[in-house]
Homo-oligomer: A and B are copies of this chain.
Amino acid sequence: MWPAAARPAPGVPLQGVAMPSRSPSHDPLDLPDRSGLLGALSDREFATLKSALLARSYEPERPLYYEGTPSLAAYLLQRGTVKLWRMGHAGDQHVIGLRGPGDLLGYRAVMAGSPYGVTAEPLEPTIASTIPRETFLALVRENGQFAFRLLESMARQSLDTEDRLMSRIQDSVLRRTATILLHLGSQSGRASRPPPNPCLPRKREDLARLIGTTPETLSRTLHALASQGILDLSNKGIRVVDLDSLRRLAG
């Protein structure tokens, strides 16, 4: 069903599979809050939901759920970053998007009544609450405002995903590389002036997969950019030298 590499390695112990309960109110990150999507819930609904939730922690690379498996629940991400990817025929990963704290995961499959369309894999230690399928559906059915917000959210994400996939279909590796470099560079807050950008995957392979290419091709692309003085690849770290040229390449 899923590639061996992605399956939980039997030998590796799971740390903190069941989240120990924390102090109930002083660490908001560990409890769902009502900002964002959940803001539409009434007090009663929120209370009901909380009682049905099962908060867990997840280790990096141990997915919350797997593409192709029955969608038994939605997940409310409370802490950490999760990468959503689809498996290629050769078992390779195609990253569809990233999600962060406050995001709701897996609800699309739940609403469609289909298996999960992606695998949701934490990039770092992550905490998420499980919302069982029926609980979630009841919530949507009974709360029009919640449904409305969900619609807005799903519509935006759908457009966003479509953009990302279209880019992979029609843009050259060079252009996609430039785009990612720009995107990842800016997203790290105060830009990439401090030489090593913490947001860029350290390994070439990870960056390559994010762009949707191979390490070899990425290497060539990066060095081509470096030889034009657009990047600086001095050991450990990619630094953008000529931001304007990079923007031009990204279109």
A contact residues, total (Cβ < 8 Å): 42
Question: Most B CB atoms within 10 A — which of A88, A113, A162?
Answer: A162
A38 interface hit (Cβ, 8 Å): no
Say how many copies of this protein the assembly contains. Answer: 2
Closest to A113 in B: B152
Could you tell me if B141 and A148 are in contact, using CB atoms closer than 8 angstroms?
yes
Chain B neighbourhood of A9, CB < 8 A = none
A26 interface hit (Cβ, 8 Å): no
**Chain A contacts with B in 84-143, Cβ cutoff 8 A:** 86, 88-89, 94, 96, 107-114, 117, 140-143
Could you tell me if A152 and B111 are in contact, using CB atoms closer than 8 angstroms?
yes
Q: A94-B166, A144-B143, A159-B109 are in contact. Are A151 and B150 (CB under 8 A)?
A: yes
Closest approach, in angstroms, between the C-beta of A102 and any C-beta of chain B?
18
Chain B neighbourhood of A156, CB < 8 A = 112, 114
**Chain A contacts with B in 45-84, Cβ cutoff 8 A:** none
Chain B neighbourhood of A161, CB < 8 A = 158, 162
Could you tell me if B96 and A155 are in contact, using CB atoms closer than 8 angstroms?
no
**Chain A contacts with B in 134-189, Cβ cutoff 8 A:** 140-145, 147-148, 150-152, 154-159, 161-163, 165-166, 168-171
Closest approach, in angstroms, between the C-beta of A211 and any C-beta of chain B?
12
Question: Most B CB atoms within 10 A — which of A143, A161, A166, A168?
Answer: A166
The residue from B96, B109, B144, B169 contacting A212, defined by CB atoms under 8 A apart: B169
Q: A140-B148, A144-B143, A158-B158 are in contact. Are A170 and B112 (CB under 8 A)?
A: no
Closest to A142 in B: B144
Closest to A96 in B: B162
A251 interface hit (Cβ, 8 Å): yes
Could you tell me if A112 and B152 are in contact, using CB atoms closer than 8 angstroms?
yes
8 contacts between A and B (CB under 8 A): A89-B171, A108-B158, A109-B159, A110-B155, A150-B151, A151-B151, A157-B158, A161-B162
